[in-house]
């Protein structure tokens, strides 16, 4: 059985991907939760879809040699993150939600329009909507390894500043922290992470897999470190279980993983509320 799993390069790559995605979920997902920017993850994922279609279109007609589906997705994702980041710095919460919603609708409209223009390659772009952990190439894994390493070290180095900006932006400015720099750096980390894991988990489920483990962890964690560790454990457990089930049943692993993380979140949420009620009654 173990030989069967480890003998397949597709499964091996999927296992490595789940491990790396769990690290990204723990670090970047936690940042998105702390910064209250989880909706940005969904917005960026759909912008990446439009970017991928744009990249395919450009490479199809050989307009630019360097832009393919991945770089197109990355460019669109970063542009949306910069747009949302600028609105977030300058506006109230309500306008930020509207801005992300507008960027979301705008990029999905572009995605639909562009995908209709690349008919024979449309499946590549639509594939990013659903994703498949078992179809990752060696290049995808390489991108994941490089990015996960960069994200992990950047987050660890700047964690104190990220937390200060997320916790109390005004005071961070007052105490001399370069708020704008850390704000955009956080968004850059979130958006590039979304793009790199998109092929594995898909635009629809990237939100669930990246942000729900840290959201669940934030319900029970007593410190930022414990939230990051618990998020990693939830993400890894759900991802591995999803892969294991998918190995026996013909269902996309990201779908099963999505169901597991949301169930874990609901259990933790209800358990926490019951605990709080008991505490109040004492």
CB–CB of 224/216 below 8 Å? no
Residue 33 engages other proteins in binding (rule: CB under 8 A) = yes
Residue 27 engages other proteins in binding (rule: CB under 8 A) = no
Residue 232 engages other proteins in binding (rule: CB under 8 A) = no
d(CA 135, CA 26): 23
Closest to other proteins by CB, 86 vs 224, is: 224
Residue 135 engages other proteins in binding (rule: CB under 8 A) = no
Can you tell me which of 226, 263, 272, 273 binds other proteins, judged by CB under 8 A?
226
d(CA 150, CA 140): 15
- Tell me 63's DSSP state: S
- Interface positions, 100-119, toward other proteins (CB under 8 A): none
Residue 82 engages other proteins in binding (rule: CB under 8 A) = no
d(CA 46, CA 109): 10
Residue 218 engages other proteins in binding (rule: CB under 8 A) = yes
The number of residues that bind other proteins (CB under 8 A) is 28
- Interface positions, 193-212, toward other proteins (CB under 8 A): none
Q: Which stretch binds other proteins (CB under 8 A): 41-49, 54-62, 145-153, 220-228?
A: 220-228
Whole-angstrom CA distances from 158 to 27, 70, 162, 218, 222 are: 12, 27, 6, 20, 20
Matching residue, tokens 């704008």: 180
Whole-angstrom CA distances from 144 to 35, 46, 48, 140, 199 are: 23, 19, 16, 6, 11
Can you tell me which of 68, 86, 221, 245 binds other proteins, judged by CB under 8 A?
221
Q: Which stretch binds other proteins (CB under 8 A): 32-40, 103-111, 192-200, 260-268?
A: 32-40
- CA end-to-end span of the chain: 51
Residues binding other proteins (CB under 8 A): 33-36, 157-158, 160-161, 163-164, 166-168, 170-177, 218, 221-224, 226-227
């Amino acid at each position: 059985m173990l030989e069967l799993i480890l003998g397949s390069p597709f499964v091996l790559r999927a296992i490595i991907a789940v491990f790396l995605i769990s690290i990204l979920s723990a670090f970047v997902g936690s940042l998105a939760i702390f910064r209250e920017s989880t909706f940005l993850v969904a917005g960026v994922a759909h912008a990446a879809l439009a970017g991928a279609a744009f990249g395919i279109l450009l490479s199809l007609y050989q307009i630019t040699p360097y832009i393919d589906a991945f770089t197109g997705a990355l460019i669109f994702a970063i542009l949306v993150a910069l747009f949302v980041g600028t609105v977030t710095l300058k506006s109230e919460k309500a306008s930020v939600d509207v801005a992300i919603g507008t960027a979301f609708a705008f990029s999905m409209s572009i995605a639909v329009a562009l995908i209709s223009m690349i008919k024979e390659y449309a499946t590549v772009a639509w594939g990013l909507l659903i994703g498949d952990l078992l179809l990752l190439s060696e290049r995808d894994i390489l991108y994941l390894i490089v990015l996960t390493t960069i994200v992990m070290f950047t987050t660890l180095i700047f964690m104190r500043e990220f937390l200060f900006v997320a916790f109390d932006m005004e005071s961070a400015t007052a105490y001399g922290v370069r708020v704008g720099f850390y704000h955009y750096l956080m968004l850059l980390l979130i958006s590039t992470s979304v793009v790199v894991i998109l092929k594995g988990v898909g635009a629809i489920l990237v939100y669930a897999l990246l942000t729900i483990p840290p959201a669940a962890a934030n319900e029970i964690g007593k410190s930022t470190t414990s939230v990051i560790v618990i998020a990693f454990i939830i993400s890894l457990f759900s991802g591995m279980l999803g892969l294991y089930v998918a190995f026996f049943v013909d269902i996309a692993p990201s779908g099963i993983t999505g169901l597991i993380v949301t169930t874990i979140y609901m259990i933790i949420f209800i358990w926490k509320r019951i605990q709080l009620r008991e505490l109040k009654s004492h």
